[in-house]
Structure 1
Amino acid sequence: MAEKGSGNMENNSSGDAVPGRTEQILCQPCSSKDKQTVADVFCSICDEFQCMDCSNIHKTYAFMKNHKLVNAKDIKEKPVWFDMKGLDQCDEHQEVLKFFCEDENQLCCSTCAIVDHRKCHSVVEIQKIAGRSALTSSELKASVQDIREKAETVVRYTKSSKEQLDQDVKEVSLTIIRMRDNVMKMFDDLERSVAKDAESFKTETLNKLTKKQSDNEKHIADATKSLETIDNVHQNGTPSQQFILKHKMKKQVDELSSNVDKECQRLETVTISFDFDETLKIPPLLISDYIPGQLTLKYSVPEAVKPITPVDPIVKLTKITSIDLKQTGDDVEEPLYSGLDFLPDGRLVAVDNKNKKCLIYNEKLQKVGSYQLSYMPLSVVAVSEEEVAITSTSYCTIDFLRVSKSNEITFIRKCKVMTKYGSICMKDERNFVVGAYDDTRPVRIVSLSGEEKDFNIKFPNKKYPIGNSACTYIRDSDKVVLTDSDEHTVYIYDIKSNARVVVKDDQIKEPRGVAVDTSDYILVCSNEINSIVQISQTGRILSSYKLDMKRPYIVCVSKDKSLIAVSSNLNGGRKLQLLKVTY
């Protein structure tokens, strides 16, 4: 389309000429800057009306010295131009493309040529090289036609695919309708079969429970009768009679006590449930051939009952060495080690929350490496032989650092996440288990690349402040352990069954750091009573080791399970200790 170009010419006449008014042509570069400046010249190469100041650029750059400038008053209108629909405009500066940089094979406007290509050796005017273009219009047209034909092929294919997809969806509905009657029959058979087994189990169990109840009601009656006899003799009998009663009844009381203790140890909670398999075989099938689920008959010890004689191995801790964590060198505060973990070769990694450091200790707790961080770290975990991951108090990030065999620490990468995390441990080779703070999902899974997802666990609807909880993971049994400092409680969640064990005990006060020991038992820092408490996965307290430090805060176990490291958070008396694990 051919039309006349505009040069921002401002004609002060409206209709017929008015005496005393003159025609004004404005400078185009100035107009683009919202300045109203009368044009003095017109450059046919730049295709612009320019004021004297703007036209001086022709004297500055050698490639513009051959531009022909004429008096603006001699130009009434620009030459005819073809509307390129914006193709002749610079994408960055919205100016007409007038130059071509042969060094970088790029079209340029005046600004591009001056600013971006001033160091290039061959910036030429387009009109001088336009006839040398190797790509003819016919070749360009053929390429575009080829593209259109391929796109049309794609459209035809996708239309066919959509039609086939519509047919497939309809067939799915028909298939489901055909399956439905068979499925309903299968579930009717299943209901009858499972109900029969469950009823049989209930009858058998009720008989046992009834006998247990009856036996213990007799124990209650015997104990009540004995108490009445003891009270009667104590109030009315002579000293001799009281003495005789004591020795006469001792055997009877011992026997009764033994029987009741045995009954307490054998206390069981009997439950019955039905869990479907994750996948079901396609029916129709005889119920005898396949039951799409599993009937679970479960016996569990209630939390309130503690067996008298423990059968689990008791961990024994022996202190190897200890150091005081004091402010030294470039420390701005007394060190607070908020995270600990052992590297596979036995070196200990610690993060200092107060002084923003990552540190390395050898087997004698001698500091052999240090790295200054830009944030306050919270926890650390060894990812591999020479790599650790660190969580932060300030940012939703997990940083990865390299710890070389020569104890040099270098930054590897930063992994951005959506949640602020504190405690961190390895779930498997590709995922972490992390403890979140100020979030109703206190424990989550994060991949090494930063992908976050939740456990299929119903946690309490509670947000833990920073430092008030910690978590760990027991890989072999697929269990999550969570400490609650405010509630003096340790929670053990079974991922497979979605069951929860709640551990509360006088030996657990302000539980903080948590780790897993040699036999997959749980070690918890009991902060208020200065102890490490060993807990079984069923929630039984196995042992409590009194530490030679106050306010134990973080605990970790070496990869060979032979050592543990503990740090404390007591202001003015913080320590780091190494202990040997034996049974």
Structure 2
Amino acid sequence: MASRIFQDSNKNNAGDFIGESTVTQSCEPCMKTNISKAATVFCKDCDEFLCDTCKNPHIVYKTGQHNIVNIKDNKSAPDIIDMKGIDKCHKHEREIEFFCQDHSKLCCSSCVLIHRKCDQVDEIAKVSRQARPELQALKQTLIKLQSEADAIIADCEQSETDVNESFAKISSEVDEMRDRIIQLFEDAKQKFITEASELKTAETKTIGNKRDASSKVKDEISKVLSMCSVVLENGTPSQQYIYSDSIKEKRKTIESIIYDQRKIKDASTVTVSFSKELTSFLEMGSNFIQLNYDGNKTGNYKNN
């Protein structure tokens, strides 16, 4: 058979008498919170032992039908359990009937022939009464492990939420830093344009004054040259002497004006320069942003 019959006395009672000691079944939901509390009822549909406190939440919040029976008053028919082939020898496909203590191995009637020289081969039917307390302890251990697995799953879900939130946060942080840099550049540009405009106005004025002064002295020179040409061509020696002497002072004045205008330096071109910190920043390329990771892996991820 692929299934075995377990009597109610082996599963559904609150406890079994082993010699003079009593094994009490604990409430399984309480066990998940590390609380030891005796079970008073059993849900056949969920295969779960419950105390009076956990019974109502189990019925209300857990989906499905719930056949709740009182452990002490449970007199129902024996349950048939499908052992899923666990009670069959995988090698000989026969029912397991023996246990070899020497090799810690379950044996069928064919396997036991191989272990006939072993010192202790027990018939399972005779020693099975000792298995219930051990199985109950194992079940309670598994319940605790299940609770730990649930905690790990909850941690994973929280970690996934944290990862999603942190990735959304770092994106907004990068955008914020970008906007700050752009605003800083805009502010610097406005200040720079204002200063450049003031400089342009001053330089334009200087150039205009220099040009006006030079234009006036040029007109004066033209007048003097015109008169000088007439005196040289048509004037008498006396007239040439007088005119030559009279324009000596004017020449000195003209030379002084020309000299002063030459000393005035004007900027023909204007350039812009950037700080070393900014040029160093630009030389970094996209590596100025780093992704920091506080997981189990070592090192930092870098945005290359």
Q: TM-score when scaled to structure 1?
A: 0.18
Using CA pairs under 8 Å that are at least 6 residues apart, name the structure with larger relative contact order, 1 or 2.
Answer: 2
Higher strand proportion (structure 1 or 2): 1
Question: Which structure's CA Rg is the greater one?
Answer: 2
Instruction: Looking at secondary structure, tell me which structure has more helix per residue.
Output: 2
